[in-house]
Amino acid sequence: MIKSEEDCANVLAIIMKNYEKLKHIFVYLSSKSSYPALTQMDYAAFVLKSKINDKNVNLAAVDRVFIATNVTPRGAPEVPGNPGNALCRFQFMEAVVRLGNEKYKSPGLVKTFAEGTQRVLDECIFKYYEPEPWQSWREEELWSLDVDDLLGSNLENLQAIYKTYFTQIKKYMDLKDCYQMCMEDCDLGIKENDICLCFGMSKMTVKDECYPVGTNYVTLKFVEFLEFIGRLSALKYKN
């Protein structure tokens, strides 16, 4: 897509400089979508909310970006864990670059992909799209002495609940277990999509999302389970 090595390096530098914000947005989007990926419908809603659409970026262009990002070159090895009908994290980053190209470079408003990427971030995504708190919620709400004391005094019971969902071969909780706990075993009155949101936002960063094939995205470790409980509480009693 980018033929100039200098332009490619500049695009990479922009993505890395803004990676924390972009990752935050993707975690939130995917947690509200088909976790751990972002469906085409939810991607299009994100583009619309970010006000990227204009006369140059119509619905056909938005779809074209999604399809091009998902294409696997002929003869290239299949990437495990990479859904063909949704965007994983690294594809979301590519889609941002392609959207910058459609909105600014292709119409001749800028000369390079790097300029287009920077402008679509500054003038659209970061300006208009505001995800719910992720890391800042941990730092401001969860990681406190009061919460630590509360979790500590209930640690044995929480460990017992967590282990309830173990099997002979599965020694962890997964998203299905969380649905069962919240909607059947406890009936917390929380909707399935909100449970998925709490699950996705409670996960630690999965460093390598495709290699090797494993359970990193679907596995809820105990420390993540504690955060999941905190996010469920914040969601249920926030009003």
The answer to whether the CB of 72 falls within 8 A of the CB of 92 is no
pLDDT in tens, the chain (239 residues): 889 999 999 999 999 999 999 999 999 999 999 998 999 999 999 999 999 999 999 999 999 999 999 877 666 666 666 677 899 999 999 999 999 999 999 999 999 999 999 999 999 999 999 999 999 999 999 999 999 999 999 999 999 999 999 999 999 999 999 999 999 999 899 999 999 999 999 999 888 776 555 567 888 999 999 999 999 999 999 87
Question: Which fold is adopted by the domain 5-128?
Answer: Recoverin; domain 1 (1.10.238)
Instruction: Please name which of 134, 142, 137, 140 lies closest in space to residue 200, comparing C-alpha atoms.
Output: 134
What φ, ψ does residue 191 adopt, rounded to 5°?
A: -70, 155
CA–CA–CA angle 107, 110, 114 (5° rounding): 120
- Would you kindly state where each structural domain of the chain is located, as residue ranges? 5-128, 135-237
pTM over 0.75: yes
pLDDT at 137: 93
Q: Is 93 exposed, middle or buried (0-12, 13-18, 19+ CB in 10 A)?
A: buried
Q: What is the b/e burial string over 209-230, where b = at least 16 CB atoms within 10 angstroms of the residue's CB?
A: beeeeeebbbbbeeebbbbbbb
- Quote the pLDDT of residue 209: 76
Q: What DSSP element (H or E) covers 159?
A: helix 155-163
